[in-house]
Amino acid sequence: MRHTAPLLLAATLASAHAQSSIHFDPTQHVWNLSAGAMSYVLGVNDHQALQTIYWGARLHPSATFPQPRQLPEAASFDPGIASTPLEYPGWGGGLPYEPALKISFLDGNRSLQLEFVDAKVTADELEITTKDALAPVFVHLHYHPYPEGVLARWSTIENRGKDTITVEQAGSATWNLPANRNYELSSLTGRWGAEWQLETEALHPGINVLESRRGSTSHQSNPWFAIATRGETTETSGPVWFGELGWSGSWRISVEQTHADRVRITGGYNPFDFAYPLAPGQSLETPKFYAGYTTSGHGEASRILHRFQRAEILPQRPSPKPRPVIFNSWEATEFNVDEAGQIALAEKAATLGVERMVIDDGWFGQRNTDHAGLGDWYVNPQKFPHGLKPVIDRVHALGMDFGIWVEPEMVNPDSDLYRKHPDWAMNFPGRPRTEARNQLLLNLARPDVRQYVFNWLDKLVSENDIAFLKWDYNRNWSEPGWDAVPLPQQKEIYVKYVDNLYSILADLRKKHPQLEIESCSGGGGRVDLGILRYTDEVWPSDNTDALDRLVIQDGFTHAYSPNLMMAWVTDVPNFLDRRSIPLDFRFLVAMSGSLGIGNNLNKWTPEDFATATRMVAFYKQIRPTVQLGDLHRLSSPRNPKDNTDSETSALQYVSTDGATSVVFAYLHSQHFGRPFPTVHLQGLDPAATYRLTPLDPDKAPGLATERNGSQLMGQGIDLALRGDYDATAIRLERTR
């Protein structure tokens, strides 16, 4: 055993947070990490490899663990390392499953055998250094337990040799589950206009790949997973192992069940088309891969992630401000924005109680359609002859702040920028440049492009009183070439592009601390824990049909907090499916996230204004509970048996101090005059008394104004919802 490990003197280093800790047993080389209600234990095995010992419910501090041992060979075809739950397997030694790391050396060798070197505990973090048995390749494994019940893991691969090595596959972590044949995997899939579709399927021997090869996070698959025990786990009970990756570029999570029924999950950079050379002295850090565990079902798994995102990830961590009610002009005016038109809309929006006015696409360059203008970020002088100032001043005078749409990473070939710098667009020299929405990607990995993008954004925000950017991104990558650097480095584009994106966002926020940013990608194409370190909210989908939105929002909340979920009320018939849903139902759907209004207010009747004003006022009362409380998905808009739409759904939010709660109930379509199912509340104090304030008293007949928590949860409440698209909400306040 090559133990250069300095013995850690302190056996226990509790973090600043009481609920996360790192314990170390120096006699066995075993670390016990606790994060909220979860414990995670790992150790150095008899082959000097790091091995997972335990991932599950929080253990009592008296729990002890012998040094782990590599499992024996099952057959000559199934070596010991195939069944051993390794923490970070390098590809080598006949590993037949997904490795966390694969490297090629100049001499053609491609085998790695990572062995323990030493470990150190600093503040909240455990860092274990491993090294290849022969080559001077060091891999540092980082573990950061958070009190909310989440463990972050990532790695740093360091070349201390004399020759360049090439990293061909780099995962952040491998997570091992207890042996069981009865797991099911939930994931979020979709496409433009239909993101956040929750899919659940039984695991079986073989590999399930969740991934994006598109250069960004993608609508098609989100880097989130939840694994539960089939027949045992429900929304409110049973074990769930869950996780999400913090990376906004091409990513991959492999969920693999071995033929010995062991489940391992490896995630990080997508190895497709990946190669990252490390010259002597260089290192590569992988994205953070966060995971947690609960015994209280899918609902609690979501709540752990929501609390974690608000306390540890979002730019305004640990206490994000409530999101303002916004008006966005996109669906009202599309590209036809101008000074008078935007001021007229702002004036109408202000009467509703809107707090932020956002001008969407069309305000810059020669941007009259989606065929031109991206890249030319000057204010269009025909549409805004006096610049943006008159609009912004008027918006401020109306008591709102001002936001604006940008799409910084894109360029239309019909733009001054492209005519001047055609080489700035991502391309393979001599090959056609594939356009999507008539646009190309700027190669943000280039330092000159990064500088250009930062400079104009900084100028725009410095010269105008802008509180908010809606940062859009409307296509996938194609031809990801980067011929300005030598051939071996060209594939670094997959890492450097995203690193530069993050650094622009970070620098912009640093220079303009009041600025808030939304991550939008033609809807929900770029939502992940990487971009969320720099953005305050996301646009989950361009699909604003309220019925579809219930399903979209349900899927979204499995992985992300409701305060991130920008939700607009828009006009009917809906642009996507021509469905017409009453305005109050549309509001009540949007009010279960961060409320926005995207209607053409010029076409509204006085009744519409009255409905909207009432809803915005009600929303402001419940907003802290909705955005920053605990969500209980009381009944799903999806029929869990066959994933079809259900007839009804209900949601409840409870503030973290338990003092307030709000219930939303939705009748999507009524069949055979069936009554709305009794709504059993959750998460209340059974001994406390709550005052109930229904939004529509006639829809909650006979509802006593005060009720006891046990009664609200046990007996539940009955609502008089009727017909198609009927909905209501009830506010609760604890009185004693």
The binding site for ligand GLA (CB under 6 A) comprises 330, 360-361, 405, 472, 474, 520, 522-523, 539, 542
CB 360 to ligand GLA: min, Å: 5
∠ at Cα 186 (226, 178), nearest 5°?
45
Phi then psi for 734, rounded to 5 degrees? Answer: -75, 125
Question: Minimal CB distance to ligand GLA: which residue?
Answer: 361
Tell me the three state secondary structure of residue 459: helix
The answer to whether the CB of 670 falls within 8 A of the CB of 723 is yes
Place of tokens 């011929």: 483
Both tokens of residue 517? 């940013």
Q: Which pair of structure tokens corresponds to residue 208?
A: 């399930």
State the nearest-atom distance from the C-beta of 500 to ligand GLA, in Å. 22
- The DSSP code sequence of 121-140 is EETTEEEEEEEESSSSEEEE
CA distances from 399 to 35, 130, 353, 356 (A): 43, 57, 9, 9
Burial of 368 (0-12, 13-18, 19+ CB in 10 A): middle
Q: Which is nearer to ligand GLA, 233 or 342 (CB)?
A: 342
Q: How far apart are CA 660 and CA 440, in angstroms?
A: 48
CA 277 to chain centre: 29
For the annotated catalytic residues, the residue numbers are: 472, 542
* Number of other CB atoms surrounding residue 287 within 10 Å: 26
What is the distance between the alpha carbons of residues 654 and 712, in angstroms, rounded to a whole number? 13
| C-alpha pair distances (Å), 241 with each of 303, 318, 388, 639, 654 | 13, 24, 49, 23, 24
CB of 474 to ligand GLA, least distance (A): 5
CB of 367 to ligand GLA, least distance (A): 9
- Rounded to whole angstroms, how far apart are CA atoms 52 and 68? 8
Element (H, E) at 171: strand 165-176
Please say which residue, 166 or 342, places its beta carbon nearer to ligand GLA: 342
Query: Please, what is the Cα angle at 112 between 106 and 117, to 5 degrees?
Result: 115
Q: Smallest distance from the beta carbon of 665 to ligand GLA, in angstroms?
A: 29
Helix, strand, coil distribution of the chain in percent, nearest 5:
20, 35, 45
- DSSP letters along 523-541, please? BBSS-STTGGGT-SEE--B
Closer residue to ligand GLA in complex, CB, 192/609? 192
Residue 575: CB minimum distance to ligand GLA, A = 11
Residue closer to ligand GLA by CB (options 405, 676) is: 405
Of the chain, the end-to-end C-alpha distance in Å amounts to 63
Other CB atoms within 10 Å distance of the CB of residue 210: 22
Query: Shortest gap between Cβ of 523 and ligand GLA (angstroms)?
Result: 5
Which one, 405 or 454, has the nearer CB to ligand GLA? 405
User: Rounded to whole angstroms, how far apart are CA atoms 622 and 735?
Assistant: 16
DSSP string computed for 659-716: SEEEEEEEE----TTPPPPPB---S--TT-EEEEEESSGGGSTT--SEEEHHHHHHT-
Q: Which residues contact 308 (CB under 8 A, 6 or more apart)?
A: 146, 148, 149, 150, 290, 292
CB of 366 to ligand GLA, least distance (A): 15
Q: Which is nearer to ligand GLA, 210 or 406 (CB)?
A: 406
Cβ contact 256:265 at 8 Å: yes
Give the nearer residue to ligand GLA in terms of CB position, either 242 or 330: 330
- Report which of 655, 593, 650 is spatially closest to residue 624, judged by C-alpha positions: 655
CB of 552 to ligand GLA, least distance (A): 13
Distance CA 591, CA 623 (A): 8
Smallest distance from ligand GLA to CB 175, Å? 33
CB 330 → ligand GLA: shortest distance, Å? 5
Q: Which run of H or of E encompasses 458? A: helix 447-463
Q: C-beta of 123: minimal distance to ligand GLA in Å?
A: 40
Cα separation of 541 and 548, whole Å? 10
Work out the angle at residue 38's Cα, subtended by the Cα atoms of residues 560 and 254, and round it to the nearest 5 degrees: 60
Give whichever of 339 and 472 is closer to ligand GLA, judged by the CB atom: 472
Min dist. Cβ of residue 479 to ligand GLA (A) = 22
> Which residues on neighbouring strands pair with residue 664, listed in sequence order?
651, 729
Give the residue with the Cβ less far from ligand GLA, 244 or 472.
472
- Which one, 370 or 499, has the nearer CB to ligand GLA? 370
Q: Are 200 and 184 in contact, with CB atoms under 8 Å apart?
A: yes
**Distance separating alpha carbons of residues 481 and 490, to the nearest angstrom:** 7
d(CA 382, CA 464): 18
Nearer to ligand GLA, 374 or 663 (CB): 374
Nearer to ligand GLA, 157 or 532 (CB): 532
